[in-house]
Structures are given as structure tokens and as C-alpha cells.
Amino acid sequence: MIAVIGGGICGLSIGWRLAQAGQSVTVFDRGSAGKEATWAAAGMLAPQVEVEHGEEMLLPLALESRGMWQGFASELLRETGVDVDYREEGTIVVANDRDDVEYLQHRMTYFETLQLDVKWLSGHEIRKKQPHISRSVSAGIYSVLDHQVDNRKVAQALKSAFMASGGILKEHTDVRGVKTVGGRVSAIELIDNEILVDVVVLAAGAWSRNISGLPNNSRPPVRPLKGQMVAVQMDPKAPLLENVVWGPGNGIVPSIYIAPKSNGRLLIGATVEEMGFDRNLTAGGVMELIRSAWDILPGIYDLPLVESWTGLRPASRDDAPILGPTKTPGLVMATGHHRNGILLAPITAKAITDYIVRGTMDIIFKPFSLDRFKEL
């Protein structure tokens, strides 16, 4: 039996693929599946505009996963009837003042060295596409291949698809610990019993380090990285925006993003805060989000504020995911996805399923093993 600890987008996707492959698999979530970082995300599939210096190894993985998303979304629709709102309008990164334009020029040069498919736009060209963008926006980079989904609908679809494929979902079931016998995984501990298992997939997001019984050489260096977000409601028949837009932020919002969903919700995110497991929304966080978004899209001023929330991203020490086997036979990692959990879910599911079913992982995953960390 395979136990997946964590029913977020990665845990559910792995469970779904394993169940499709005929494996006996149970996903455990200590709350409701898909209601932590998966719920809190914005659903952006944007490996190009989000790539940072030093992430050149991650880029091929992220691009490949983005390429899998259209098929992943169609398969979920076919199997469950849930439309996950996969949208292909693309993403625009915008600049307001001269400093921002210079910064974007650097980004453009970097994107060109990586041979990414991006295009420079003037402020006028941006407003021709999206007329409600502020007149203060003077230039931008258009990344037509950076798409988006509705992450909450994906979670709903994955739960159905997983169970329809024969997987068992145990919600509100806290896995307290992992047991080993002779150095090999043997069981998981619940509050009142133990279950014998052959394999444990650790996909518990920001909580992945906190499971007791993990051998010291197999404890992933993952910590929570808080993000605050808000949503305003547009008229879905006359949306203010159709592209995902990124722009300059302020303080705890290093860069702002605005993601319009087809139901009219306009998501505005996100802060990036080292605050442990604190989940408070703060006046300062919400103020920076709304002010930075308003600089780009002044029309949000009159829209109803319909939701505000926080999420805890699972950040590894080098911001890249941790995938595959560990020094503890039977213990497999699928955690540490940082800001890329939604984007990387399809490829994570493929990697972990291939490893468990065939005992192999493609060379592309080699840089993401737990072994890369000298100290855990």
C-alpha cells in the first residue's frame, strides 16, 4: 500500500496517477484536501516571467510541466466534468517609472539569453490589449505562453478524479509519524492506530518537516513562507482585465500580480514573509497589495473586496522542489515547491509515479533530489 501524506495539488495528482497505474494508494490530509497552499494560490502557470537568476536548472522542469497543463486540464474535464478554467491569454509584466523600465530591460536581456518566447510592448501596445491598464504604465514584456488555471477548481477536480480512479482519500486524518524497521519505511502512525505501508510519499507542503519518526538523513529542509492575498469581484461579462499582469510591488510585496478568473474574481497577490506558521492578515500587507495593484489597474478602486486570505508556501532552502527517493528506502519526497506548486503538479505526479511504478526517474529530476542538501 502507498500512503501519500498531504492532499494538496501535488499529493492528489500523485495519488491520481498512481491509482490510474493500478496501485493501491491512500491520500491522507489532516484537514480538507486542497485547502492549504493549493487553495491559497493564484493558479499561475508562468515559468517564463517567474524565472530568477540561479534557477536555470529549474526552468526546463517548469517549462515541461507548463507544456503538460493543457492535457492535464482536459483530462480532468473529461474524467470529472469540472472545467478548471485553463486560460491562454498570456502574462504581461509591466513597468511604471524609469527605474522599472530599466529593470524590465534587464529582465528582457535575461529572458533572451534563456531563449524564452517573450515580446517587448510599449505602454500604448499594452493598453490596446488591455484598455483599463493605467496610463502610468510605460512598457512591458508579454509572455504569451505563460497561462493560468483556477487552482481551487483543480483541487475539486483532482479529488473526484483520484477517487474515481480507485484511490482512497482520508480527510481530517492526521498522520502523526512515520515508522521504520531496519531503516526501511514500515508504517504510518495515526492518532489511534498504525497502518502498514510499503511506500510513503511525503507531500505535506510547509508541514513536511514536522512529521515525527523521519530519520535525520531524510527530513526535508522545508519551511513555511507566508503569502497574503485579496480578491475583488469584477463583472464576468465585462472584466477589467483578461491577461495575468505582474508589476512592481512594495515592501513585503516584492512584485504584484493580478490574475483574472472567468467567474470575475480578480486575485491580487502576494506578500512573501518569513513568519513561521503565522497566518494573520495584516493591515500593511493588504494595503501594499491593493496599492500596488491600483497603480496598475486603477479601476479596482470601485470593485467589491470579496475575500482576503493567507497561505503558507512550502519553501526549500534553495527554492527548488525536493523530488524522489531518500536514504530511507520506501520514503519518497514530493515537497518544497515554493512558489511553483500549481505549475509543477503534473510533472511532479509523473516523476513520482514513474519512480514508484518503474523504479526510475528521468535525468531532468536529478538536481532535485534530497541528496543535494549537505545538511538537513
Residues at the contact surface with ligand GLY, assessed by CB under 6 A: 42, 44, 227, 269-270, 313, 339
Q: For ligand GLY, give the closer residue by CB, 26 or 310.
A: 310
Nearest distance from C-beta of residue 41 to ligand GLY, angstroms = 6
Nearest distance from C-beta of residue 268 to ligand GLY, angstroms = 11
The answer to whether the beta carbons of residues 176 and 136 sit under 8 Å apart is: no
Q: For ligand GLY, give the closer residue by CB, 100 or 146.
A: 146
Contacts of 281-290 with C-beta under 8 Å, sequence gap 24+, read 281/228, 281/308, 281/309, 281/310, 282/228, 284/251, 284/252, 285/228, 285/252, 285/253, 286/228, 286/230, 288/249, 288/250, 288/251, 288/252, 288/253, 289/228, 289/229, 289/230, 289/253, 289/256, 290/230
Q: For ligand GLY, give the closer residue by CB, 10 or 44.
A: 44
Q: For ligand GLY, give the closer residue by CB, 245 or 270.
A: 270
Q: For ligand GLY, give the closer residue by CB, 159 or 313.
A: 313
Nearest distance from C-beta of residue 364 to ligand GLY, angstroms = 21
Cell of 6: 498531504
Strand pairing category for 147-148 and 44-45 = antiparallel
DSSP string, 208-220: GGG-BT--GGG--
Residue among 147, 209, 167, 225 at smallest CA distance from 7: 167
Q: For ligand GLY, give the closer residue by CB, 6 or 269.
A: 269
Please name the amino acid found at residue 282: T
Nearest distance from C-beta of residue 72 to ligand GLY, angstroms = 17
Residue nearest to ligand GLY (CB): 339
Burial of 56 from C-beta contacts in 10 A (0-12 / 13-18 / 19+) = exposed
Nearest distance from C-beta of residue 339 to ligand GLY, angstroms = 3
Nearest distance from C-beta of residue 313 to ligand GLY, angstroms = 5
Q: For ligand GLY, give the closer residue by CB, 75 or 89.
A: 89
**276 secondary structure, DSSP code:** T
Q: How far apart are CA 158 and CA 287, in angstroms?
A: 34
Q: How far apart are CA 292 and CA 272, in angstroms?
A: 14
Q: For ligand GLY, give the closer residue by CB, 37 or 185.
A: 37
Nearest distance from C-beta of residue 355 to ligand GLY, angstroms = 25
Nearest distance from C-beta of residue 7 to ligand GLY, angstroms = 19
